[in-house]
Structure 1
Amino acid sequence: MVARQFVEVSRIRLEGMQGLLTAFPKLLASETRQHTFIDTESVRYVYQPIESYFLLLITNKTSNIVEDLHTMQLLAKLVPDICGPLTEAHIRDKQFDLVFGFDELLTAGGHAEQINLQQIRTNLEMESHEEKLHLMIQKTKLENATADRKRQEVRIKEEQREKARQERAAGISAKASGYAGFGSGYASPTAASSSYSSQSSFGASTPKEYTPEPLKAPAPSLSSDTDVGMKLGGGSKQGSSFLDAMAAEDDLQDIPPVTSAASSIAAEPKLPDAVGSTDPVSLAIEEKVSVQLNRDGAVEQLEVKGSLFVAGHDPDSSACRLHLRHSSANGVNFQTHPKVDKKLFEAQSILALKDDTKPFPPSRVAVLRWAIKTQDEAFLPLNITCWPEEESNGKVEISIYIIHIYLYIFTTVSLEYSMDRDNMVLENVVIQIPTGVVDPPHVSQIDGEYRHNPTDHVVLWRIPSISSS
């Protein structure tokens, strides 16, 4: 228990308060719950149920019950606004925020402040213009320091690169001068060979000419016991065989070497082309229905938006005309594509391009659109009726045609759906039922399937198919 006390409280006083809290469940069980307050000999309990919890306000019997009820209503709005879903974990996590919110509404003497929920939110946020200005100045200083640091890093890197460039240039010039001095005191191999051949005839009639043999690259030496150091990239045969044995035991495959992006793209097999439609011309109709109903079930606004898509897969057969059957007497507004002959459609209900020699494009194009706004209930694809009623056992029973859901609220809601159109079949229908609680519902029987979403406090009921039969 977390308690916020404005004055010093003795142990006896604290035990007395604990006794008052302990007596509340017993008094609640003995009452018939016709009121939201209970009077005892010394104090008055003003309470309000919130989901599976009770919000309790203990006052003296001389207090104004009307003001106490108004304070309780404001507290009942404040608690869900701070905690969100009313679970034990959320209440424990927001316990100090709840205390701060109670302090904004109740003063030190136990009197209620003349304040609304929006003002309490503003006070809890504790916004300060001076604090915002200070934070903006600190943020600007931090951004300037970061930008200055980056500029210094770039300057230092440029200086280091320039210094390294100068050192490399100085080293190359020094090596070039050393090579020049070495070459001046050394005779070329050609001059030496010619001098040798002219003086080593040994009496032969024809002097032999000496040609120096080209240098051969030294053969790689085998590793010996005297080698010192570490050789990278030269795996031993024993280690390789050990890894091969492990791979064979685990049924692993060799990983191919990593290649460049261009080579990998070139090596990929060419994917087969998408299989086109076998029909020369394909049509598709899409409609979206948006309905707003009032609490009594009357239609406030019904809007239907539809589109007709055409795609020509065969150039020889795509240069065609589409004869439609529609009626504009019920207030439906039609709009044709700019390349469609509008006069022909309005006169004969025929969709055709202005240029008869050109076929319909192979891509999917909306050639006709229509929209209607009405309040006629005959356009509703599905009728859903809701019958709420209160229960005294603290449970909620939601009956939707053949789905029964029981929730722990003080209301019973019965829903049923009906469909009067013989030429229409609805598939994959999802009905969203708000529950207002986190606890999962108990479903006794269902036609289709359902899923409970505790985050949004809803039950999603999915029906595979609905028809008039």
Structure 2
Amino acid sequence: MVVLSAAVTTKAGKVVLSRQYRELSRIRIEGLLAAFPKLIGTDRQHTYVETDNVRYVYQPVETLYVLLITTKNSNIVEDLETLRLLGKILPEYSPRYGVVDEESVMEAAFEIIYSFDEVIDWGGLRENVDLQQIATFTEMYSHEERLVKMIQESKMAEAKEERKRREEEIRRQRSDGGDRLGMLGNELGKMLQAGGMGSFAQDLGLTGLQNKAAANAAYAAAGGISSDSYAQQQSTMGMGGGGGMGMSGMGSQMGMGMNMRNVISSSSGYGRSNAGPPPVAGTAAKKGMSLGKGKKQDNILDSLRAEGEVVDAPVSRLKGAKANAAAAAAYVPPSQAIHLATIEKLNLTVSRDGGIQNMEVKGDLMLRVTDSAKAGIRLQVSTGGAESNGVQFRTHPNVDRTLFSTQGLIGLKDPKRPFPTGNPLGVLRWRLVTKEEDKAPLLINCWPSDNGDESVVNIEYELGASKELRDVVITIPIGTSSQPTVNQCDGEFVYNSRTQSVEWRLAMIDESNSQGSLEFSTGPTDANAFFPINVSFSSKYTYAPIVVSQVALVSSGEPVEFGHDVSLVPDTFSIV
């Protein structure tokens, strides 16, 4: 199927929303949508209507139409299935659940468009999804984002606790410093009294009022004159009130009777900031506040694991791990205690003139057990007759090879011995080496030609032995920095200026589009510059159709729930 556009219109012909999946101008798509109401008759029920160029496939949903505009050679059965799925999306995302009208569709327009994009990819091909998967994808839940947010919140909580602790410590230091300054003032006052300057110490606030008489007496015995005596003499001479020259007068009018503690505190602070001792050589500067995160982060990861979430180890912990330990994370089962993965890797080199130079397929059946209570198991495995096609199988040294060859069971030689838990274990391995061209998953022909002022490249693909390929990317080097011009393309065309290459991308290749072509032109270039062509893809159809029908406990024969993933990916696939 090839969908050009998906739209929702009223029965009067008004376009509520529209989404294009191929390169179409706005004028073109508006013309197609405007012509749709005129093609519908009122005397009979329609499911589709055709014109000379396109096909309209539509379905009434209450007062609206859900409409697909497709090419005439598109598979109408798949188009109808896609249309029914789109029709279910409208009531699902309506703000008033179950009510589908123009107002509700306009209010949820973006959610509906995003859901349409999950059903139909760019290029007009249908994705194999259902309504529940669409809801999951559009929800855009990210486990990594949740984990990062929880770690950030724990860091903020730790920072707040550290701030409170530091504030309390600074407050305590200030309180201890004030007490020490008070003791220093008392000691200075005692020294002044012992030296016959007790009255001066009293005026400076270094002694209490109850000691004032004793201080004056001690000062007079030492041959000095107290401030009170001096004030009395000045008042007798008429100078105390007018001039205010007595020590007490000066203290009251000029602020000399200030608290010496403040004076000492200010001066000592000044001394610390300007005349403090130099730092000792070799002493490292004290770092700023550091937030410990290891314990908190581990607690968060443990809590997520307790909830049943699959949590990977932090990246920093994987830096020193081996490559196989990092790859083992790919086999972590989502929920089952037993998880199997069939993995095939393809190495293929094809000549540009035709024929396979080298083709090798290596496969592994990986077993991962996460529950030690279910580690004593046997697997019922079928190879699907792959041996007759040249596939050679080999079991793990600890696996009973006779049991596998006679009964198709994979189990350890010692039945009482369980499989190891934690890391994945390759229990079965196979290999296929061939030069038969019909065994290649995809056949590609490239025809570069020189037209004098430009080079024209024609590339064709044809689906080979594989039933379905996904995320296909065919990379063609062009050997020049000039921008290529696309003349015809089945799929998506991307030019990478950094690598000076063209990427021909197809979301899926199956029986519905088993053949396709690309034609582009670029500056004059030697034909050898367009090689080697590299191909990447993924597929769930392997050369060895391994089927695990049952996993059962050795002790009781009770079946055990398990999961099984299958994938075929190329290590190297090049046309040279």
Q: State the TM-score bracket (shorter-chain normalisation).
A: 0.3 to 0.5
Q: TM-score, normalised by structure 1?
A: 0.32
Q: TM-score, normalised by structure 2?
A: 0.27
Structure with the larger RCO, 1 or 2 (CA within 8 Å, 6+ apart): 2
Higher Cα radius of gyration = 1
